[in-house]
Every structure is written in C-alpha cells, then in structure tokens.
C-alpha cells in the first residue's frame, strides 16, 4: 500500500502544468477514532479530476481503506457549476474473527467461531454550487453509497443433551446510504475560507443468509432490514494567507441515532490537516 501511495505522489509531482495538483495530509480524532489520511489528486483544465486517498487506523495500528475517486466539473453559468462524481473505497482491514465461547450466551456451547468481512464501498453522485463575487458561496451534493459485508458463525454443542450439535450461519449485510450535503461558506480572498456543512445520511441495512443445523441442507433465512438516519454538522476553517500551503481545522458535531426506541450516542470529532497546492 505504501508503494501504491508513493507511486501516486510521484505521478502527481511530475504531472504537466495543465493540471492543478494537490496533496492533503490530515488527522482525525474522537473518543473512539484515531485516523491519519494522505490524499493526492489533480484537476485538468477541462474540469476532469482524479484522486487517491489512503486512511490508516492509528488506534488499531492497521491500514483501514484506500479510496479512488474521479469527478468532472462543468461551469454552467458565471460562478455556477455542476459536477458528477464517483468513488470506490477498498477496505484493507483484516477479517475480524473470534474463536471462543464468550460471544454465545448458551452454557452448553463449548466451541464457536465467527468471521466478518468488510466489503468495498461504491459511491456515485452529483454536486453543484454557486459562488458570488463577494466570496459567499453555497454547494449541494447528493451521493448514493452501497456496500456488502459477509459474516459467518459456527457453534458446536459438545455437552448436555445434544438436541442441536452443530449450527452454521452465513449472512450478507447490504448497506445502502443516501447522503446529502449542504454547504454554506465565505471565502475571504488570501485570508481564510470559512464554511459549515450539514451532512444527512439515510441508511438501509438488509440481511439475507442461510442456516444449517446438524449438517442439514442450508436453509434460506430472511434477516429483515433496518432504517435509520444520522446528521453531522461540520464547521471548517482554512487559512489561505500562506500561498500554496493551506492548513485547516474542522470540528464535527454528530447527532445521536435513534432506532426502535434505542439511542446510539456518537462522539464529536476534530480534524486537522494541511493541503499543499503544486
């Protein structure tokens, strides 16, 4: 992965003058998240752009994911644009496994194992915006995301009355997300760029799988589906008074997720980074 990122940076540095090349190095921090990311991208004069980002999970000391993205920006009027975009995120996490009995509440289960594979995420969307000559601007984006994870669970009953001696389950978790962003900002030329972004995500998770009891033929199981939404509020400040070096800081307020009478509290997040424009 390091070789891939090094190659991308080398290509970006040697890119022709017709492309605007940039790098973005940042660190994200909350109670449960410690992530460092490095991104390189370039935009051609015709509005076509590409980028590559690698995210490292500092807390768990392993690489998290790699994202390849592309977009094409079209000016539709003075100060206004539309931009179709697409991304694919490759998960580089190791498969999560467990091989003890702590995850099963039944005392007769003497052995069990579980495996969970995180799938790749595919994203497609469109973005548009308008910037006034005063520096005030507004952007809006819609993006659809989809991912399929796989899980396996095996349990063996080696004590007591063996009514069920063997259980094996396989499941697919299909996660679909409708994401919308609305950004309001003020660009103070050669001083700072201040913005606030509202992010709304509507999730639908559908579970399908099979169960196999005592070696029987696998039986299809419908695990149902769940829906929930989340809202984030991102407050960001970029310092643009340093030429090609643009340090920035972002604070994200994350709302609680409510589902079926339960509330999942999410921790707010701090992100700091540095963009360099070649």
Q: Give domain 2-277's CATH superfamily.
A: monomeric porin ompg (2.40.160.40)
Structure tokens at 50: 């590409």
Query: In Å, how far from its chain's centre is CA 226?
Result: 19
Predicted pLDDT at 161: 52
| DSSP 8-state assignment for residue 260 | T
Per-residue tens of pLDDT for the chain, all 278 residues? 455 445 444 544 454 545 699 999 999 999 889 999 999 999 999 999 999 999 999 998 999 999 999 999 999 999 999 999 999 999 998 666 655 544 454 555 556 677 888 899 999 999 999 999 999 999 999 999 999 998 887 776 655 555 556 677 788 889 999 999 999 999 999 999 999 999 999 999 998 887 777 666 677 777 778 888 999 999 999 999 999 999 999 999 999 887 766 778 899 999 999 999 99
- Residue 140: the pLDDT is 99
- The Cα diameter of the chain in Å comes to 79
Rg (CA), the chain: 23
Q: Are 149 and 183 in contact (CB under 8 A)?
A: no
Tokens found for residue 246: 């643009």
DSSP symbol at 13: H
42's tokens: 């370039």
For 61, the 3-state DSSP assignment is coil
Helix then strand then coil, in percent of the chain rounded to 5, is 5, 70, 25
Burial of residue 40, with CB atoms counted within 10 A of its CB: 0-12 exposed, 13-18 middle, 19 or more buried: buried
Neighbouring C-beta atoms of residue 51, cutoff 10 Å = 20
E-strand stretches of 12-133: 19-29, 34-44, 48-57, 62-72, 74-77, 80-91, 96-98, 109-117, 121-131
Task: List the domain boundaries for the chain.
Answer: 2-277
Q: What is the pLDDT of residue 101?
A: 45
**Which tens digits make up the pLDDT trace of 180-237?**
999 999 999 999 999 999 999 999 999 888 777 766 667 777 777 888 899 999 999 9
- Residue 184: name the closest of 139, 148, 224, 222 by CA: 139
This prediction's pTM: 0.82
So what's the pLDDT on residue 223? 73
What confidence score (pLDDT) does residue 258 get?
Answer: 73
Nearest 5°: CA angle at 270, between 266 and 272? 155
pLDDT at residue 102, rounded to an integer: 47
- Among the listed residues 114, 103, 47, the one whose alpha carbon sits nearest the alpha carbon of residue 75: 47
Q: What does the pLDDT read at residue 17?
A: 44
d(C-alpha 222, C-alpha 156), whole Å: 23
């Amino acid at each position: 992965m390091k070789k891939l990122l090094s190659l991308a940076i080398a290509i970006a540095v040697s890119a022709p003058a017709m492309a605007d090349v940039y790098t973005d190095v940042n660190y994200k921090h909350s109670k449960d998240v410690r992530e460092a990311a490095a991104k390189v991208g370039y935009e051609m004069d015709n509005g076509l752009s590409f980028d590559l980002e690698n995210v490292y999970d500092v807390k768990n000391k392993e690489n998290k994911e790699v994202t390849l993205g592309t977009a094409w920006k079209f000016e539709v009027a003075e100060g206004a644009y539309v931009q179709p975009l697409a991304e694919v995120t490759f998960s580089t996490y190791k498969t999560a496994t467990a091989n003890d009995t702590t995850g099963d509440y039944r005392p007769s289960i003497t052995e069990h194992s579980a495996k969970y594979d995180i799938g790749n995420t595919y994203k497609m969307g469109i973005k548009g915006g308008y910037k006034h000559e005063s520096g005030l601007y507004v952007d809006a984006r819609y993006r659809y995301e989809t991912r399929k994870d796989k899980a396996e669970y095996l349990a063996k009953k080696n004590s007591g009355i063996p009514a069920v001696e063997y259980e094996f389950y396989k499941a697919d978790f299909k996660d679909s997300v409708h994401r919308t962003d609305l950004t309001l900002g003020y660009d103070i030329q050669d001083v700072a760029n201040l913005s606030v972004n509202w992010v709304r995500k509507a999730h639908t998770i559908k579970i399908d799988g099979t169960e196999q009891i005592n070696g029987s033929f696998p039986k299809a199981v419908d695990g149902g589906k769940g829906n929930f939404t989340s809202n984030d509020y991102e407050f960001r400040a970029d310092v643009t008074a340093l030429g090609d070096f643009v340090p920035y800081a972002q604070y994200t307020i994350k709302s609680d997720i409510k589902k079926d009478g339960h509330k999942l509290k999410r921790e707010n997040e701090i992100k700091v980074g540095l963009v360099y424009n070649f």
